Amino acid sequence: MKFRQVHLDFHTSEAIEGIGRDFSKQQFQEMLKTGHVDSITIFSKCHHGWAYHPTTANEMHPGLDFDLLGAQIEAAHEIGVKTPVYLSAGLDERLARKHPQWLIRNQQEVISWTGDFMTPGYHQFCMNTPYLDVLAQQVEEVVKNYDADGIFLDIVGVRECYCQYCVADIRERGSDPRNLEDMRKLWEETYARYAKRMNDTVHAVKPGLPVFHNSSHVDRGRRDLAHVNTHLELESLPTGGWGYDHFPLSARYAQTLGMDFLGMTGKFHTSWGEFGGYKHPNALRYEAALSLANGARCSIGDQLHPGGKMDLATYTLIGEAYREVAAKEEWCQDTTGIADIALLSLEAASWAAGDGPIPQHNKHDTGAVRILLEGNYLFNVVDLEADLASYKVLILPDEIQITAQLKTKLDDFIAGGGKILATGRSGLSVDGSGFALDLGVTWQGISAFRPSYLRPSFELPSLRTASFVIYTEGQDAVLSPGGTLLGSKENSYFNRDLFTFCSHQHTPSDLQEAGAGIAEGRDGIYVAWHVFEDYAVKGSLPVKEIIYYALDRLLGNHKSLNTNLPAQGVTTLQAQPASKRWVNHLLYASPVRRGEGVEIIEDLLPLMNTEVTLVTTEQVKDVYLAPQNESLPFNQVDGKLSYTVPLWACHQMVVIQF
């Protein structure tokens, strides 16, 4: 898989004429070179439903009079650039108006994405209709007729649908569309059948050709869905609604799956389809570096003008990032992430428990990742199929109750020396019998007070001891025999109500101990609130520092990396076993909000004297900066390696050569 990819959208209305009239092989090649691009995904078929090449399986765009796809492939291959080919699978507006009966519908017969045909927008197809045969013919035609380096199929996934094809199907099985469990099985089978049909169609012609089915999110806990792909492309445009939290969360899960993957951002100021919108070059430099630091290759989204001329400003912008990526590739291939902490994703646990999908941007996973990133911890995001043996601490964020399957896995982890950090309702048995683990407390019920307060028995680094408000759901718990109290829960005088309210927001603490707020038992530490959700919503400093205290207590002297990198920094440690080295990635940028909630990176401030200490018993031969190849002074004493990076900005790799 190439490191420096571009995803070149070309969703082009039939109301525009002169499609591709300004295309020039020379200009196309010059822009790819300017952008330091080594792979570009180009279009066979767009969301409007048009093909950009001669076709018998589809219809060529009425404003196009030559084989644009073929010309682009020829131009790219001539200079050694790969060309995966894109087909819009879930959307095809040309066919939607001819065959509206093939569209996804909800129980009220409302279609998706756009709810009618009097509003501009696209409409999504159900793959349990004859449309699947049409799509297969389109894919087969491309693979047979063109030297594609891969197939990218867009807007697909397990979809809820009550179209008449799905209704008839479920009734033929002797069930009823009102039976949600049976409908979910049908929807799963529909997607599995679609994916197998597409993969078989491609590989019957070109065995092993890369195929990716894009749903814009890799579901944590659904390895079966991940493995219908030959590789993963993590769509994550920070300014397009995903935010800067999303990619690390997604990538720290993807790297545990043993698949090649890339991070897909965009050149746009906002998101897809934004003509004339541009990021600051520093933002793309940082986003590309963030992919490398998390073991991923890079992809940057662009959209070609209908005239077919590549935009100089865009490829100059992309080149700012990809010039740096090209110099760093040697230290970013065949990597394995090193981690002390495993975060069991609530999304993954929900799938495993049979509860179905939950929001991919759920506050529990997001808040936990945000705290771990800001604390410079080495971590992975895991599901219930993950091997936990290499981790020292497992986090159960907020709402992970213990099933029999999970209990067996946790018992093995704890028996091997691992420790648990559980928060909120996590750690409770699904049968309602209380805690399934020894976390030093006995559960009494959900707290009637919200918010409530935590008074730690330890002092926080940034604040003196106080009663700290926590806004999310709390639990009533008391210390159990053998438990160690690390902080007390306090309630307010009363909840805010019509005749009982105090001041502008919530009622203050009554300053009376009301059970255990944070405690430690044989198996780990428990915090009695949904603290990760709280941090995602409120971003409270005491909550973060309380979690840091708990993690550091559980890790003890076994924390693999310590650094003075600021909170907005990111650090990862990637191993390259074949080269007998580790690569410590250091990143720093501080997104700011512009406009209505758009996160922007513009200024990349230099950092001085960044100190790092790593735990390693293996003899270190050299420590040097990459790609500069400049050696750093280092000390290795009693299993700890220390070095200082004097001055750097945006992204610095430090190579530890054994």
Q: What is the pLDDT of residue 429?
A: 95
Could you tell me if residue 101 is inside a domain? yes
DSSP 45-100: E-TT--BSS--SSS-B-TT--S-HHHHHHHHHHHTT-B--EEEESSB-HHHHHH-G
Q: How far apart are CA 332 and CA 542, in angstroms?
A: 36
Q: How far apart are CA 322 and CA 314, in angstroms?
A: 12
3 state SS of 330 = helix
Task: Specify whether 621 is located in the same domain as 594.
Answer: yes
Q: How far apart are CA 225 and CA 159, in angstroms?
A: 13
Number of Cβ within 10 Å of residue 492's Cβ equals: 21
Task: Specify whether 300 is located in the same domain as 381.
Answer: no
Q: Are strands 211-214 and 151-154 parallel, antiparallel or unpaired?
A: parallel
Q: Which residue in this structure is represented by tokens 């520093």? A: 282
251 phi and psi, to 5 degrees? -70, -40
Number of structural domains the chain divides into: 3
Task: Specify whether 294 is located in the same domain as 391.
Answer: no
Write out the E strands in 259-349: 261-266, 297-303, 336-337, 341-344
Residue at 158: amino acid letter: V
Could you tell me if residue 333 is inside a domain? no
Q: What is the pLDDT of residue 595?
A: 85
DSSP assignment, residue 328? Answer: H
Please count the helices (runs of H) and the strands (runs of E) in the chain: 15, 31
Q: What is the pLDDT of residue 484?
A: 98
Question: CATH code at 315?
Answer: 3.20.20.80
Task: Specify whether 299 is located in the same domain as 169.
Answer: yes
* Domain boundaries, position 441: 341-558
The residues, any chain, with a CB within 8 Å of residue 436's CB and separated by 6 or more, are: 402, 407, 410, 427, 428, 429
Last residue of a domain, one of 558, 582, 612: 558
Q: What is the pLDDT of residue 360?
A: 66
Could you tell me if residue 648 is inside a domain? yes
Stretch (H or E) spanning 247: helix 243-254
Q: For residue 578, how many C-alpha atoms fall within 13 Å in the half-sphere facing its CB?
A: 7
- Residue 453, beta-bridge partner list: 469, 490
Task: Specify whether 570 is located in the same domain as 627.
Answer: yes
Task: Specify whether 467 is located in the same domain as 568.
Answer: no
> Cis peptide before 633, with omega less than 30 degrees from 0?
no
Q: Which residue in this structure is represented by tokens 């050694």? A: 80
Tokens, residue 106:
């909800």
DSSP 537-591: HH--HHHHHHHHHHHHHHHGGG-SEEE---TTEEEEEEEEGGGTEEEEEEEE---
Q: How far apart are CA 257 and CA 619, in angstroms?
A: 30
Q: CA quadruple 212, 215, 220, 223: dihedral positive or negative?
A: negative
Question: CATH code at 592?
Answer: 2.60.40.1180
Q: How far apart are CA 612 and CA 390, in angstroms?
A: 22
Task: Specify whether 263 is located in the same domain as 387.
Answer: no
Task: Specify whether 501 is located in the same domain as 569.
Answer: no
Q: What is the pLDDT of residue 352?
A: 84
Last residue of a domain, one of 297, 327, 357: 327
Could you tell me if residue 332 is inside a domain? no
Number of Cβ within 10 Å of residue 385's Cβ equals: 12
Q: How far apart are CA 42 and CA 7, in angstroms?
A: 7
Q: What is the pLDDT of residue 419?
A: 98
3 state SS of 255 = helix
Q: What is the pLDDT of residue 380?
A: 98
Question: CATH code at 513?
Answer: 3.40.50.880
Question: Which pTM does this prediction carry?
Answer: 0.95
For the chain of 658 residues, list the mean pLDDT of each consecutive stretch of 10.
97 98 98 98 98 98 98 98 98 98 97 95 98 98 98 97 98 96 97 98 98 93 96 94 91 96 96 95 97 98 98 98 98 97 95 75 92 98 96 97 95 97 96 94 96 97 94 97 97 93 93 97 98 96 97 95 96 98 97 86 96 97 98 97 98 98
Task: Specify whether 384 is located in the same domain as 305.
Answer: no
Task: Specify whether 171 is located in the same domain as 295.
Answer: yes
Could you tell me if residue 87 is inside a domain? yes
Mapped to the 3 state alphabet, what secondary structure does 99-142 carry? CHHHECECCCCCECECCCCCCCCCEEECCCCCHHHHHHHHHHHH
Are 138 and 166 contacting, i.e. CB atoms less than 8 angstroms apart? no
Could you tell me if residue 336 is inside a domain? no
Q: How far apart are CA 572 and CA 566, in angstroms?
A: 14
DSSP 144-176: HHS--S-EEEES-S------HHHHHHHHHTT--
Q: How far apart are CA 423 and CA 518, in angstroms?
A: 9
Could you tell me if residue 423 is inside a domain? yes
Could you tell me if residue 364 is inside a domain? yes
Task: Specify whether 554 is located in the same domain as 565.
Answer: no
Last residue of a domain, one of 327, 349, 383: 327
Are 319 and 310 contacting, i.e. CB atoms less than 8 angstroms apart? no
Are 393 and 414 contacting, i.e. CB atoms less than 8 angstroms apart? no
Task: Specify whether 442 is located in the same domain as 481.
Answer: yes
DSSP assignment, residue 315? Answer: H
